[in-house]
Amino acid sequence: MSQNQVSVKRIVFKELLAGDRRKFEARSNDTASGGGARDLRFSPYSQFKTAFEEMFPHIDDKGIASGKFHWYEAGREVSKDAFFHPPTSARGNEGRIANIDKFLPTDKIPNEEEGTVFILFIQDSEGKVWPSFATENALLNEWHEDVSNMILSCHNSKKRSNMATSGFVDFELGSEFCNHG
């Protein structure tokens, strides 16, 4: 590997269902799934906590992990603060990235017509976290098999279509996790 080459440390992924898309567009109002909250939820918290704390290494006295999301706009790198919150009393098993409509590059979300879409939070060897969106087809044809195999095998093991696939693969620590719910 050359000095300038950046590698991937870890990836957290989540399938975007219709309600998640509405959150990105700041028009969610799904009373049964938390009202108008703009949170992207990950459960069980105990499984995702370590991966997000590696990505967002600054943890305050309330247990909120903070860091930055990075992406490119008009050819230049931009970043915004990002936060991973611990469970609340109302949702005791879920960690969450709050206010996703305010700081993620939503113009990069593939259209629903392109099929199943995943959001991937990719931490590189420099510690930067890059949100990315990928369709099932793109994972099959454009992504490295170490990434696509984990995500797609997790997704293909899903039993109920209304449950989102989520998980992570940590190349640095040698761990992975798959969940539906």
pLDDT confidence band for 40 (50 / 70 / 90)? confident
Domains and CATH numbers, the chain: 8-180 (2.40.330)
Residue 6: predicted pLDDT = 72
pLDDT confidence band for 160 (50 / 70 / 90)? confident
How far is residue 87's CA from residue 147's CA, in Å, rounded to a whole number?
28
pLDDT confidence band for 1 (50 / 70 / 90)? very low
Q: Which of 12, 14, 15 is nearest to 112 (CA)?
A: 15
What percent of the chain has pLDDT above 70? 82
CB 42 within 8 A of CB 181: no
Which residue did the predictor score with more confidence, 43 or 24?
A: 43
pLDDT confidence band for 181 (50 / 70 / 90)? low
- Peptide linkage before 44 cis (omega within 30 of 0): yes
Provide mean pLDDT across the span 59-88.
93
Provide mean pLDDT across the span 161-165.
83
Handedness of CA 46, 117, 105, 21 (dihedral sign): negative
Residue 127 has pLDDT above 50, yes or no: yes
pLDDT confidence band for 98 (50 / 70 / 90)? confident
Provide mean pLDDT across the span 108-131.
89
User: Considering only 45-54, 110-119, 127-136, which range has the smallest mean pLDDT?
Assistant: 110-119
Total number of residues shown for the chain: 181
Residue 124: predicted pLDDT = 97
Which residue did the predictor score with more confidence, 99 or 25?
A: 99
Residue 20 has pLDDT above 70, yes or no: no
Residue 7: predicted pLDDT = 93
